[in-house]
Structure 1
Amino acid sequence: MSACRKVAVVTGGNRGIGISLVRNLCQTFDGAVYLTARNEERGKKAVQDLKAEGLSPCFHQLDIDSRDSICDFAKYLKETYGGVNVIIANGSVSYEKNSPVPLSEQSEGYIRVNNIGNANLYQALEPLLRQDGRYVIVSSGFGQLSHISEKLRPKFQTDNMSIDQLNCVLNEYVTSTKDGSYKEKGWPGLAKRRLQAGSCSSNQNPCAQSEGQPSSSARERLLSRMDCHRRYQDVSG
């Protein structure tokens, strides 16, 4: 076990912001830098491209839409390093503005991967964070409540909202996209807007039993430590 070595992880690291984050960490972070990706072939190709630039990233396959994949990665980090110093949760699913995929399918995909998948990842990896470790959630301006109607904003502005309650709000949106009532209920037509506003959503601990809800302590850690909107932190130290 390389218990003394620092470790940084970037999910969704094979393209765009993700690969840029990996590149920067390889240049500034004193430790192992992991590029993770759902597609193993694309992830390994990104690693090879960075190595051609003289950098030395590591690769590990990670599909945040799979609880088994998340737990396998958490187990690997624990057994190999004993902990982790930096986690940048950048992995997500996205659709083009004019995508032919029906809005109801888009909304389900966003909730399943971007919300629940990332929350499951947090619950699995947060216990591995070392002292002074950083967990950064990559989001965007779409997470601002100003992008949804005023009558819907109170649904997201309750300080004591539980994860189950938040999931219910998000499921209301999915249901409205299926029956066509989303506009009259105040939901805009771009799925990413309201789903990033609820990016703390989770329904279970991925490394616990397959049934049941996360413990109250897990809920508290999730809701208190996850940053639902854009946050920039210095993770190079």
Structure 2
Amino acid sequence: MSPSKPGESSGKRVIVVTGSYKGIGFEVVRLLCEHYGDRATVYMTARDATRAQPYMEQLKAKGLNPAFAELDITSKDSVMALKESLEREHNGVVHCIINNAGMAYKRDAPDPFPQQASETIANNYFGYLLISEVLYPIVANDGCVINVASMCGKLNQVSDQYQKQLSEADNIDTVTEVMNKFVAAAQKGEQKQAGFSNSAYGMSKLGMIAAGRVHAKQLAGRNIAVLNMCPGWCKSDMAGWERPPKTAAEGADTVVWLETMTHEEQMKRSGGFFQERKDYPW
């Protein structure tokens, strides 16, 4: 099969869901497989294929047929390997990337905050940037990106100075500068005095949303929509199984709603922030 030019769509819809062998990501894969059937190739991804195998088997037992790819969003080699695989298998075109991979420390984690800050930003923010740098160039010109963020990433958790800087950002370097300043302040235990919140997870999702808004501006010329959303507080290994009121499938619902709407509607909403199938202020 000869490769098509970058941005050309061909064949089935190709959807990549990062961090998707369990929890919300798993439910996104399941629901999209059910929705599209043979009309799409939906990729479940995980760092460890062995751990993901039972979850792939669960879906296949239901008559669904997801694809699988190993992916560590913090490893450039891993992300490049996925890109090369997509180029081989699908003419180098992806129609949707759903950025779901992420991590969070438990509230009672004993790890010192400077460590929590640096690791959470490295994974949730810089991992997201790595995906954008490597994979967005092969997103189809009528494609979309959906970022699984959080209400914890609200803009008002930082000072007025940073709110203005992030809300008006036109380039990724502006967002990265703020994230780096947060990590530097956290190393000194001075994050609050410096204008940031005490939530490493919240700051990482703030960065993701701000970067997603920049990407929406940058990719508009290629007719690619970028949509940020919050799944809500869902039962999962990360959030716990007793207190969260929503199931992972309920959290996945808005992702699937955004992915399956018409592209015209996606473009109208590009750069927005959503929860429960509704537009929310950032």
* TM-score over 0.5 for the pair: yes
After superposition, residues 31-70 of structure 1 pair within 5 angstroms as 31-70=40-79
Matched, 1:80 2:80: no
Task: Return closer, same or farther for 1:225/1:170 CA change in 2, 3 Å cut-off.
Answer: farther
1:59-98 C-alpha deviation (Å, 9 max, x unpaired): 1100000001001101100111111222211011221121
After superposition, residues 111-122 of structure 1 pair within 5 angstroms as 111-122=121-132
Unpaired runs of at least 5, structure 2: 3-9, 231-253, 262-282
Unpaired runs of at least 5, structure 1: 203-216
Deviation at 1:138, TM superposition (A): 0.9
1:116-152 C-alpha deviation (Å, 9 max, x unpaired): 1111112222222224222111111112112334454
Pick the aligned partner of 1:236 from 260, 264, 275: 260
Q: What corresponds to 1:188 in structure 2?
A: 197
Matched, 1:4 2:11: yes
Task: Return closer, same or farther for 1:195/1:125 CA change in 2, 3 Å cut-off.
Answer: same
After superposition, residues 156-195 of structure 1 pair within 5 angstroms as 156-160=166-170, 162-195=171-204
Task: Return closer, same or farther for 1:170/1:134 CA change in 2, 3 Å cut-off.
Answer: same
How many residue pairs end up in the alignment? 220
Q: TM-score of the superposition, structure 2-length normalised?
A: 0.70
SS at match of 2:15: strand
Pick the aligned partner of 1:105 from 112, 115, 133: 115
Task: Return closer, same or farther for 1:89/1:74 CA change in 2, 3 Å cut-off.
Answer: same
Q: Distance in 1 between matches of 2:191 and 2:140?
A: 43
Q: Which residue identity is paired with 2:12?
A: R
Deviation at 1:157, TM superposition (A): 2.6
Q: What corresponds to 2:233 in structure 1?
A: none
Task: Return closer, same or farther for 1:107/1:117 CA change in 2, 3 Å cut-off.
Answer: same
1:155-184 C-alpha deviation (Å, 9 max, x unpaired): 323334x32232221111111111111122
Q: Residues 5 and 32 of structure 1 are in contact (CA less than 8 Å); yes or no, is this contact kept in structure 2?
A: yes
Q: Percent identity?
A: 29
Q: Distance in 1 between matches of 2:116 and 2:61?
A: 36
SS at match of 2:103: coil
Range moving further from structure 2, 58-67 or 41-50: 41-50
Task: Return closer, same or farther for 1:49/1:6 CA change in 2, 3 Å cut-off.
Answer: same
Q: TM-score of the superposition, structure 1-length normalised?
A: 0.82
Task: Return closer, same or farther for 1:229/1:107 CA change in 2, 3 Å cut-off.
Answer: farther
Q: Which residue identity is paired with 1:64?
A: I
Q: Distance in 1 between matches of 2:176 and 2:139?
A: 26
Q: Distance in 2 between matches of 1:6 and 1:20?
A: 18
Q: Which residue identity is paired with 1:16?
A: G
Task: Return closer, same or farther for 1:229/1:153 CA change in 2, 3 Å cut-off.
Answer: farther
After superposition, residues 128-143 of structure 1 pair within 5 angstroms as 128-143=138-153
Deviation at 1:47, TM superposition (A): 0.8
SS at match of 1:72: helix
